[in-house]
């Protein structure tokens, strides 16, 4: 993966010229594939679960890897790739406005010969040719990595990031120099890592418009040739094609609605409602001061010294407690002190009376934020329902909006619940 702007231009133009001269030939091969049923023999040799495969057409150009393996692409990753890709390149968009998209692949290696792709997570939309990664995508990657790791520990599975995918809308299947660099980033740590390339214009009734590529000679770095690895599917290709057309319909129908709701989560809930809730009934700790980004090394060192100067109040000074929380905590402390006093003076009747009174008072204090947060949750729930049909085809930034909301709200609930328990235990 590369942080700098990727540019496939040179390769694309070269390839486009090549492709145009080859397109007749390619089309013929498609037709040939179409007329041929999936060989039962091949299925028996390999995995009976995987019913269809792409015959490697144009064999003169495709060099078969010496240590051959197959890539098994299941329905879920395929639909996510297509679903995200078609948002930015389809027949209803002017070709000059088509954009590439980029994502990662989750899966596992079986018996050192099969790569099972179980999921394809959309990360980012790029330009006409090339994709630029931003820090948020690296954060997303590491979060995905740790969430797979946690899930694996629970399920004793061994899934991990097994490669990446991106689109070449209208350009076909190849690795540009920048793609090779990206592929190196995946393949050096994991020799089995693959890169899938999807081109929606290549989709036919018997070809899914996707190829698996890998570099053949890592020692040659970005000058390495690439190889096309055989792709297998867990269903018949015609069936997948039929299903994917349904998915495309579903996305076309629901995308606008879903994105509007997502925008409201961002602009209304995250930017207005939640800050209002925190301002009026603040429970979440706020940072005492803004985190400064210092570019000058000397300044950074000085700041570091300052930061590490130990003083006892450092921790209490790092965070700021909102007013409402301070008020609530003060009320609780006051009540506790009085109750303690009554207990010590052995006045059970007075104690009981006061306890009920204090509990009622604090419950009243939190009833307003409680009501408000329930209303926010119900609004959010309605929005999520409309986003749900398109959720699989959202990218990092879009998914983050939902995650930010959920993180914020769960933090608020956590503190609120803690107060409820405290009151109940008076
Ligand atoms: Zn590319």
Please tell me the distance between residue 198's alpha carbon and the centre of ligand 1 in angstroms.
10
Please tell me the distance between residue 146's alpha carbon and the centre of ligand 1 in angstroms.
27
Strands (E), 140-252: 160-167, 194-198, 210-215, 226-233
pLDDT at 317: 56
Residue 252 maps to a domain? no
Q: Could you tell me if 128 and 268 lie in one domain? A: no
User: CB–CB of 196/163 below 8 Å?
Assistant: yes
Query: Which range of residues forms the domain containing residue 399?
Result: 258-292+318-424
Q: Could you tell me if 264 and 228 lie in one domain? A: no
Residue 212 CA to residue 73 CA, distance in Å, equals: 10
Q: Could you tell me if 167 and 33 lie in one domain? A: yes
Residue 132 maps to a domain? yes
Please tell me the distance between residue 119's alpha carbon and the centre of ligand 1 in angstroms.
20
Residue 121 maps to a domain? yes
Looking at 194, 220, 235, the residue that finishes a domain is 235
Assessment of whether the complete model's pTM goes beyond 0.85: no
Interaxial angle between packed helices 396-424 and 323-344, expressed in degrees from 0 to 180 and rounded to the nearest 10? 20
Q: For the chain, which ranges sit under pLDDT 50? A: 1-49, 56-66, 290-292, 300, 302-312
pLDDT at 50: 52
Please tell me the distance between residue 240's alpha carbon and the centre of ligand 1 in angstroms.
24
Residue 126 maps to a domain? yes
Residue 311 maps to a domain? no
Residue 123 maps to a domain? yes
Residue 302 maps to a domain? no
* pLDDT tens digits, one per residue of 120-166: 999 999 887 777 777 888 777 878 877 877 776 677 678 899 999 99
Q: What are phi and psi of 233, to 5 degrees?
A: -125, 155
Q: Could you tell me if 401 and 338 lie in one domain? A: yes
Looking at 235, 250, 276, the residue that finishes a domain is 235
Q: Could you tell me if 266 and 145 lie in one domain? A: no
Q: Could you tell me if 13 and 100 lie in one domain? A: yes
Residue 17 CA to residue 12 CA, distance in Å, equals: 8
Residue 245 maps to a domain? no
Ligand 1 (single-atom ion) residues, CB below 5 Å = 8, 176, 179
Nearest by Cα to 379 from 398, 397, 405: 405
How many residues are present in the chain? Answer: 426
pLDDT at 338: 95
Q: Could you tell me if 85 and 191 lie in one domain? A: yes
Nearest by Cα to 214 from 236, 238, 249, 188: 188
Q: Could you tell me if 114 and 13 lie in one domain? A: yes
Residue 356 CA to residue 423 CA, distance in Å, equals: 10
Please tell me the distance between residue 277's alpha carbon and the centre of ligand 1 in angstroms.
45
Q: What are phi and psi of 52, to 5 degrees?
A: -130, 160
pLDDT at 297: 53
Please tell me the distance between residue 81's alpha carbon and the centre of ligand 1 in angstroms.
14
CATH of the domain at 30: 3.40.140.10
Say how many domains are in the chain: 2
Q: Could you tell me if 224 and 264 lie in one domain? A: no
Nearest by Cα to 254 from 119, 392, 404: 392
Q: Could you tell me if 90 and 223 lie in one domain? A: yes
Q: Could you tell me if 145 and 218 lie in one domain? A: yes
Q: Could you tell me if 178 and 73 lie in one domain? A: yes
Q: Which residues of 317-339 are buried (b: 16+ CB within 10 A; e: fewer)?
A: eeeebbebbeebeebbeebeebb
Residue 390 CA to residue 270 CA, distance in Å, equals: 20
Please tell me the distance between residue 80's alpha carbon and the centre of ligand 1 in angstroms.
18
Residue 72 CA to residue 55 CA, distance in Å, equals: 14
């Amino acid at each position: 993966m590369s942080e700098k702007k990727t540019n496939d231009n040179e390769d694309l133009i070269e390839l486009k010229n090549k492709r145009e001269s080859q397109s007749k030939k390619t089309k013929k091969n498609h037709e040939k594939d179409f007329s041929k049923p999936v060989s039962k023999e091949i299925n028996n040799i390999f995995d009976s679960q995987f019913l269809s495969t792409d015959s490697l057409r144009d064999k003169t150009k495709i060099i078969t890897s010496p240590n051959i393996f197959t890539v098994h692409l299941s329905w879920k990753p395929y639909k996510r790739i297509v679903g995200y890709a078609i948002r930015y390149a389809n027949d209803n968009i002017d070709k000059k406005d088509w954009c590439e998209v980029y994502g990662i692949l989750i899966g596992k290696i079986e018996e050192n010969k099969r790569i099972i792709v179980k999921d394809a997570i959309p990360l980012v939309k790029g330009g006409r040719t090339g994709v630029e990664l931003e820090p948020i995508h690296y954060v997303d990657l590491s979060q995905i990595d740790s969430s797979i790791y946690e899930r694996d520990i629970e399920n004793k599975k061994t899934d991990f990031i097994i490669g990446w995918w991106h689109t070449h809308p209208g350009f076909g299947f190849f690795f540009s120099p920048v793609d090779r660099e990206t592929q190196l980033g995946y393949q050096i740590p994991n020799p089995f890592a693959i890169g899938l390339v999807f081109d929606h214009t290549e989709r036919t009734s018997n070809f899914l418009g996707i190829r698996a590529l890998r570099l053949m000679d890592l020692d040659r770095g970005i000058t390495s040739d690439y190889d096309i690895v055989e792709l297998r599917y867990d269903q018949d290709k015609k069936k997948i094609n039929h299903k994917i057309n349904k998915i495309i319909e579903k996305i076309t129908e629901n995308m606008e609605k879903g994105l509007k709701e997502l925008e409201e989560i961002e602009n209304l809930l995250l930017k207005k409602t939640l800050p209002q809730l925190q301002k009026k009934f603040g429970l979440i700790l706020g940072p005492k001061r803004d985190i400064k980004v210092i570019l000058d090394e000397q300044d950074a060192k000085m700041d570091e010294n300052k930061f590490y100067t130990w003083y006892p109040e450092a921790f209490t000074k790092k965070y700021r407690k909102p007013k409402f929380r301070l008020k609530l905590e003060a009320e609780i402390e006051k009540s506790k002190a009085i109750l303690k006093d009554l207990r010590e003076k052995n006045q059970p009747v007075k104690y009981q009376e006061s306890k009920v009174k204090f509990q009622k008072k604090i419950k009243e204090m939190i009833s307003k934020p409680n009501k408000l947060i329930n209303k926010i949750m119900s609004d959010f729930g309605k929005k999520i329902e409309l986003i749900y049909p398109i959720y699989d085809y959202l990218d990092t930034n879009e998914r983050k909006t939902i995650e930010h909301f959920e993180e914020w709200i769960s933090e608020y609930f956590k503190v609120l619940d803690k107060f409820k328990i405290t009151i109940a235990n008076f």
